[in-house]
Amino acid sequence: MVRVAIVGIGGYGWGLVQVIRRVAEAAGCRLVAAADARLAAFPERADELSAAGVELFGDALAMFDALRGRCDAVYIATGIPSHAPLAIAAAQAGYHVHLEKPPAATVQEVDRMLEVFRAAGRFCLVGFQALHGRDIRFVKERVVSGRLGRVKTLACHAGWPRTRAYYERTEWAGRLRVGEAWVLDGPAMNALAHQVTNMLFLASPEPGRLATPTSVRAELYAAGPIESHDTAAIEICTAEGPTAYFLASHCTEGSFGPVIELEAEGDRVAWSMRDGATIRYADGSRETCEAPGDAAREAMVANFVEAVRAGDGSRLRCPLAQTRRFVLALDGAHESSGRIHRVDRACCHRLDAGTAEARTVVDGLDERIRSAAERRCLLSDLPDAPSWAAASQPFDLGGYGAFPQRFRIS
C-alpha cells in the first residue's frame, strides 16, 4: 500500500483529496496525512479527514519531518510561489512528489528542483492532468504512429471570464511576484496552462515528450485591475517544426473554449475540453474520442501511485523534466512581450461593478481571439488590430537559463 500525504486542502487540494479517495482501493494507496497553514479556515474538512484517520498538520515542513518512514509520497496542491520551496523540501526529506501545475514560474526554479530530485533519488510528477486524458492521448498516439501527417500548426483559443472574487481568493492571484518570488499568474501560466502543455505535447512526434520551444513571440496584456496578464497572444516555434498559437483572455464578453485546432499534412484535429477530439483525415475518414471528464485526474493519480510503488520515475506520464519546456515557453513569452501592456480603459467596460462578480470586458475581444486563432497570428497581426495592440519581436530561447532578461515590471 502506497502511503501518501497532501499539502493544501483548500480549493484544488480538496478536489484532489476526493480523487485520491476514489482511486485508493484500485490504485493501492492510502491518504495518511494532510497539512495546511490555514487548517482553522476549514474546520469541516479537518474534522472529516481526522475522522478518517488522516493525521493533520498546520505546517508542511513539520509534516515532512514527522512522517519520515511512515509515508512514501507527497501531493503539493498549493499556490505557485510555494511550489519550488515545498517540492525541494519534500524531496530532501525523502518523498516522491506530485506537484500542482505550473511547476514554477521560472526555469531556474525548475532546474534547481531537478537538481535536488536527482541528488535525493526521488522523482516528481507535475499535475497537467489533461496529458492523462484518453482524448489527448488518442491524438498523441496518431501523431507518434504517423497516422496523422506531419504536424504543421496548432492553435488554442479560449475566453474564460474571471471576476473580482477570483483575484481576491489568494494573495498571488493576478500578481507578477510576491515578495522575492516570481508568480507570473495569468491565463497562459495558470488557468489555461493545460492547453499550452497540450499543444507542446501534440507538437512532438516522440512518445511521452513535449516539443522543445526555440523562440517565442508574445503579447501580454492587462485590462483588469491586476499587475499580471489577463489576455495573452503567444506564438511558440519548436525544434520539432510545428508552431503553436495561444490566444486567450479572462476579459472576454462570453465564455468559450478552450479549443485546440491542429493542422497536419492534409489532416485536421479539433479538440475541446467539453467534446473531446475529432480527427478528419485527408482521405475522408474520421475518428473521434470523447472527453474524459474527471477520469483524467483519476488516471493521473493512479499513474503517480504506480510509479511510486515501482520506484520507477520513467513510468510518469508528465515528469518534471518535460514540463520545463512549458515554463521555458512562458518565460520566453514574458521576455518577448517585455512588460505587461495595459489595454486602454476607453476600450473596456465593467460588468457588475461594486460586487464580487465585477469583471472587465475588452470591447470586441471575443471575435478578435477567434480570428487570430483561425489566421494563426497574434492580435497585433490582425487586419483590424485593436488600437491597444503592442507588437513584439521573437525572443530566442537558445541557451536560456534564467528569468528575467528583458522583462520588466512597469
Cβ–Cβ < 8 Å for 19, 298:
yes
Distance CA 103, CA 165 (A): 24
Q: Return the C-alpha cell found at 213.
A: 520551444
Residue closest to 167 by CA, chosen among 191, 145, 137: 191
Residue type (1 letter), 303: N
Q: How many CB atoms lie within 10 A of CB 7?
A: 29
Helix ranges restricted to H, 157-294: 164-168, 193-203
Q: Under CATH, which number does the domain 2-129 receive?
A: 3.40.50.720
| Domain layout of the chain by residue ranges | 2-129, 130-292+320-396
**14-37 confidence digits (pLDDT tens):** 999 999 999 999 999 999 999 999
Please report the pLDDT score of residue 410 as a whole number.
81
Distance CA 281, CA 273 (A): 21
Please report the pLDDT score of residue 301 as a whole number.
97
Pick the CATH number of 130-292+320-396 from 3.30.360.10, 3.40.50.720, 3.40.50.2000, 3.90.1170.40: 3.30.360.10
**113-156 confidence digits (pLDDT tens):** 999 999 999 999 999 999 999 999 999 999 999 999 999 999 99
